[in-house]
Amino acid sequence: MGTDEFGGEQQDRVDQTTIIGGLPITLLDLEESARLFVETALSARTGNRRPYYSTSANGQVIALARSDEPFKALLLGADQIHADGMPMVLLSRIFSRKALKERVATTDLVHSVAAQAEQAGLSFYFLGGTPDVNRTAVARLQEAYPKLRFAGARDGYFTTDKEPAIVAEIAALKPDILWIGLGVPLEQQFVARNIDKLTGVGVIKTSGGLFDFISGKNSRAPAWMQNVGLEWLYRTILEPRRLLSRYLKTNPIALWQIMFNSR
């Protein structure tokens, strides 16, 4: 994993990981992760450091990492990997010596971070989604957290030749926390290409379909389905053409990986 300069209690939290499906997954829970983001972003204001980089893993990510070594290397280059899948949490209780406390879904994490960030005076930047989804996501989060500042926002529909200008703009704006929702593996590839150009940004979090959920375009599964690890089934029912074949391919691989490559 990547490294950064932390001290005391903060460093202790950064070092707490367990291996699930062959990946080092943080043991920090939702609130601990939110505090880490806020503390890291605040400390980054005093220097010009490389951003702290947090990404997430679920069944799809574990399966892709199994078959795609370059993608796995991108994950291992992160400072932190969250378990964004309840099956990972449940199975960690059986196959890992250090069980995960809870699922840290980015759709929940963004709210915990926003609540603390508005009190600390931190700023966000949303990169990703369609123009309408991006605008709506920003508006809805600001409505929920009126004191939260946005340094900027940009949809994810841009060509490769526009990327340098977008990265330069974000670097100039220096948001405390940059949320990138370009989808797997595009968002991890984007970070790998550009993280060293984003000094001054405190924290980068890859976010998958986060903006679709904040904007209301997509709905969350009922709480009971989330708690028993069936949110993937709920999403499949809503989008069978897009997700059924994906989950049929990735879920068995992810299960195998968790059973035999956790410790």
Residue range 46-89, pLDDT digits in tens: 888 899 999 999 999 999 999 999 999 999 999 999 999 999 99
Share of the chain above pLDDT 90, in %: 86
Q: Which residue has the higher pLDDT, 9 or 176?
A: 176
Contacts of residues 247-250 at CB distance under 8 Å and 24 or more positions apart, as own/partner, are 247/59, 247/60, 249/63, 250/59, 250/60, 250/62, 250/63, 250/64
Whole-number pLDDT of residue 7: 41
pLDDT per residue over 5-39, tens digit each? Answer: 334 444 444 459 999 999 999 999 999 999 999 99
What dihedral angle (degrees, nearest 10) is formed by the CA atoms of 132, 158, 118, 103? Answer: 90
Whole-number pLDDT of residue 232: 87
Q: Please compute the mean of the pLDDT values over residues 136-155 and round it to a whole number.
A: 98
Whole-number pLDDT of residue 15: 53
pLDDT per residue over 82-135, tens digit each? Answer: 999 999 999 999 999 999 999 999 999 999 999 999 999 999 999 999 999 999
Residue 175 has pLDDT above 60, yes or no: yes
Under the banding of pLDDT at 50, 70 and 90, the label for residue 196 is very high
Whole-number pLDDT of residue 14: 46
| Average pLDDT value for the chain | 93
Distances (CA, A) of 220 to 94, 131, 210, 232, 233: 27, 21, 11, 10, 11
Residue 4 has pLDDT above 50, yes or no: no
Whole-number pLDDT of residue 48: 84
